[in-house]
Amino acid sequence: MRERIRYVTVGPLRSNSYLLLDSGSGEAVIIDAGDEPHKILEMISPGVKVRGIIATHGHFDHVLAVDDLREALGVEFLIHSEDQAVLDILPESTLRILGASMKPPKPDGYLDDGDEIRVGELVLKLIHTPGHTPGSSCLLTGKTLFSGDTLFAGSIGRTDIPLGDSQRIIESIRKRLYTLPDDVVVYPGHGWQTTIGTEKRSNPFVRG
């Protein structure tokens, strides 16, 4: 397999930040730069060429490290276009939750459903899965899915927060994720990995 996945759990909400590496070319992309940029940088071995930072959605625990990493690595930050609204309210939400107002990172570009991002010979396809936020998205390469805060092992993302929508997240999971093969491995924004088949059979919030 060409793909290599490294991750570190960061920040007060213990979010997972991933490094997806194409072992052949040495190219990589960071998915969800949540916090503690020094920990994320430690995942990058000498010779690895990071091509960008992608956020599955705009909540602070998935973008706090973006500006520090962008400056350190000289790469672009991308997010789904509909989550600019989530970034816009970051100063308010971080003040309420963390006690300090955070300036949101400014995207260098926007992604939309079906867009493909090349990482060496790997292709990451964006799947728009609104519900947790309007622009929440998952990233699929082969049999690997980075699900952000849409689908967890035995759970789903919260929708009792600003811009959340409980009906949309259930529809997104059923129509966009549960149609994937059962052996697709899911790497979520929080917690441990699972598979599509496992969640279809046993997730108490959304049955297959």
Residues β-bridged to residue 118: 123
pLDDT exceeds cutoff 90 at 42: yes
Q: What average pLDDT score do residues 99-120 get?
A: 95
State how far the Cα of 97 lies from the Cα of 13, in Å rounded to an integer.
11
Q: What pLDDT sits at residue 3?
A: 77
The structure's pTM equals 0.97
**Per-residue pLDDT at 2:** 77
**Model confidence pLDDT, tens digit, residues 192-206:** 999 999 999 999 999
Q: Where are the domains of the chain?
A: 3-202
Query: What pLDDT score was predicted for residue 51?
Result: 97
Band (pLDDT 50/70/90 cuts) for residue 9 is: very high
- pLDDT, tens digit, 9 for 90 and up, residues 142-190: 999 999 999 999 999 999 999 999 999 999 999 999 999 999 999 999 9
> Per CATH, the architecture of 3-202 is what?
4-Layer Sandwich (3.60)
Region 50-76: what's the mean pLDDT? 98
Spatial CB neighbours of 54, under 8 Å, sequence gap ≥ 6 = 29, 30, 31, 32, 77, 78, 79, 111, 117, 124, 139
SS3 content of the chain, % helix, strand, coil (to 5): 25, 30, 45
